[in-house]
Amino acid sequence: MFNRLYVHIPFCVKKCHYCAFISRNPEKDELAEYPALLLREMLLHAPAARPLDSIYFGGGTPSLLQPLQIARLLEKFAVYLGISADAEITLEVNPGTITHTSLKAFREAGINRVSLGIQSFDDAFLERLGRIHTTEQSRQAFQDAREAGFTNISMDLIHSLPGQSLEQWRAELRHAVQLGPEHISIYGLTIEEGTPFARSYPANSQELPDDDLSADMFELADELLTAAGFEHYEIANYARAGYRSQHNSGYWKRDGYLGLGVAAHSFLRDGYGVRFSNPDNLEEYRRSVTSGQLIRIGEQRLSRGDARAEYLFLGLRLAEGVDLRAFEREFGRSFESVYGPIAADLVRFGFLMQNGRVLALTSRGILLSNQVFEKFLP
């Protein structure tokens, strides 16, 4: 029912000004107590597991956990869920929370991929974003990760920051390429309701790049990173050959995954699939886990129509597109009989391209992907 595991660590040193993720500063014993809750939750799901092909510690700031805590979690996951010999095991790392020694210890604990939350190589932007680290700390974290033995390093960058020019964004991309990661994820800043940024930058703020400039930034990333040898394999993701994110690729291919921890989402392969999430505050999560009666928030059992639509809009995120023969094997109907007229319109207007039995987004479709995906909703 699942072969991937996501573990959410809902703690951060300090809230970034743009962040709407579930995370907060840990109170006194919370960091020490949390792994035991994760294990209790894991035991309640263990019978449905297949050996895990990937594990992803995300947050929040998972690098606030001690390497020993991660080592113990991985030992228990191996015993109760099973971990494939070549599983990808990722830790999201905030450059302001680690040292050379701790990175080495995380590597020894079994982490084999780090995802560095760099966001920007410009100290003025980092400060504006409310990040706790400097550019120098990001560079150091990258070097330390290499020296600790990590051969698979990803970094996150954000564009369309308030006041950011195309030339500043070009400098960010060059800085990233020059460090030499195996993987880069690129996100456009979105202003989330309820964050300090939503108050500072209302929708009509002159400081926010307009849609044209944001599109230029997206295209510049594509141009510069592909010229540097990265494959643009998913809307927001670039990888050197052999270094696509296995875990995230599983999401786009609708592999089953279990989410452990506060606010973690799960997708279990049962029928056409079941989606649900955990309580989004620690107190309720603790009650749910310790009672042995797990609370599933927003549980949705997918219909065949839901699953077909998901298959398409998740698969279309990938540059390789959707194999329509695989779609037909999965759902027992020809693609044309379900989506023929919708797909034909999207091809005619230049948002999709069809090559034999493969359907993929065009570069125009990538820029307007959300509007394209909506067309497939039941």
For ligand SF4, the binding residues (CB under 6 A) are 12, 15-16, 19, 21, 23, 59-61, 94, 117
Residue closer to ligand SF4 by CB (options 23, 237) is: 23
User: 76: which residues sit within 8 A by CB, 6+ positions away?
Assistant: 39, 42
CA triple 21-25-26, angle to 5 deg: 115
User: 229: which residues sit within 8 A by CB, 6+ positions away?
Assistant: 240
Q: How far is the CB of 130 from ligand SF4 (least distance, A)?
A: 7
Q: How far is the CB of 68 from ligand SF4 (least distance, A)?
A: 22
Residue closer to ligand SF4 by CB (options 11, 276) is: 11
Are 23 and 15 within 8 A, CB to CB? yes
Q: How far is the CB of 94 from ligand SF4 (least distance, A)?
A: 5
Residue closer to ligand SF4 by CB (options 23, 266) is: 23
Distance CA(17)–CA(131), nearest Å, equals 8
Residue closer to ligand SF4 by CB (options 12, 225) is: 12
Q: How far is the CB of 12 from ligand SF4 (least distance, A)?
A: 3
Q: How far is the CB of 187 from ligand SF4 (least distance, A)?
A: 11
Distance CA(60)–CA(22), nearest Å, equals 7
Distance CA(98)–CA(62), nearest Å, equals 11
DSSP class of residue 11 equals: B
Distance CA(273)–CA(255), nearest Å, equals 10
Q: Enter the tokens of residue 7.
A: 């573990």
Residue closer to ligand SF4 by CB (options 113, 308) is: 113
Are 60 and 12 within 8 A, CB to CB? yes
| Residue 88 β-bridge partners | 54
The angle that helices 135-147 and 100-109 make with each other, rounded to 10 degrees, is 40
Residue closer to ligand SF4 by CB (options 16, 153) is: 16
Q: How far is the CB of 58 from ligand SF4 (least distance, A)?
A: 9
Secondary structure element (H or E) that encloses residue 293, with its range:
none
Question: Counting every residue, how long is the chain?
Answer: 378
Residue closer to ligand SF4 by CB (options 167, 193) is: 193
Q: How far is the CB of 16 from ligand SF4 (least distance, A)?
A: 3
Q: Enter the tokens of residue 121.
A: 């190589």
Residue owning tokens 């979690």: 73
Residue closer to ligand SF4 by CB (options 19, 116) is: 19
Q: How far is the CB of 15 from ligand SF4 (least distance, A)?
A: 5
Residue closer to ligand SF4 by CB (options 60, 279) is: 60
Residue closer to ligand SF4 by CB (options 116, 352) is: 116
Residue 64's φ and ψ, nearest 5 degrees, are -80, -20
Secondary structure element (H or E) that encloses residue 87, with its range:
strand 83-93
Which residues of 165-308 form beta strands (DSSP E)?
183-188, 231-234, 237-239, 257-260, 265-268, 274-277, 297-301
CA triple 151-153-155, angle to 5 deg: 165
CA triple 5-9-11, angle to 5 deg: 170
